[in-house]
Amino acid sequence: MFGIDSPELLIIAIVALVVIGPKELPNMLRNWGKWMAKMRGMASEFRGHVDEMVRQSELDEVKKQLEAAPGLDLQSLDPTKQIKGAIQEGMAEGEKAFNEAKSTFDNPLAEPESAPQIAADQQPAVAESAPASEPLPEPAPAAETPPVAAEEKPAKAVAAG
């Protein structure tokens, strides 16, 4: 360390102990440590600034080389233009689909394109395919079976309330 050997360091410590005194020596060493920490911080900050200037100068050189290269257009390499173009295409398609849906909704007289076609002879076709010996089951009337869940809900609400 700074060309000082162990015996020389021991002599400096003994002289500091005698000159400064045992009571003030810890405070002086603490202050000396704080001062060294500040100096190291300033040195690292200075080194950081110098490194930043070097990086910036290297980037400037690279930028100049790229701009000087023939046939290389940096504006065409910008990905934001491609992204914006894709978004605008998607928005145009969405607006077109929205306008088509709106025009279909606004015109109630137009028939939908995919309307199901209902056959008028559906019931006789079923009767012809069934054997004559078996009678067709009659559908149960829907009005005869009252909904049970609808009657239970008010009863539960009354019981809970």
State how far the Cα of 160 lies from the Cα of 157, in Å rounded to an integer. Answer: 5
What's the Rg (C-alpha) of the chain? 46
Token code pair at residue 82: 């491609």
Closest Cα partner for 81 from 72, 73, 69? 73
Determine the pLDDT at residue 150.
Answer: 47
Domain range summary for the chain, segments of one domain joined by + = 6-72, 73-104
Question: Phi and psi at residue 111, in whole multiples of 5°?
Answer: -80, 145
pLDDT 10s per residue in the chain (161 long)? 567 788 888 898 888 888 888 888 889 889 999 999 999 999 999 999 999 998 888 888 888 887 777 776 666 777 888 888 899 999 999 999 998 888 877 776 656 566 556 665 555 544 455 455 555 566 555 555 555 544 455 555 555 54
Residue 9: HSE in the Cβ half-sphere, 13 Å Cα cutoff: 6
Number of C-beta neighbours around residue 141 at 10 A? 7
Determine the pLDDT at residue 91.
Answer: 93
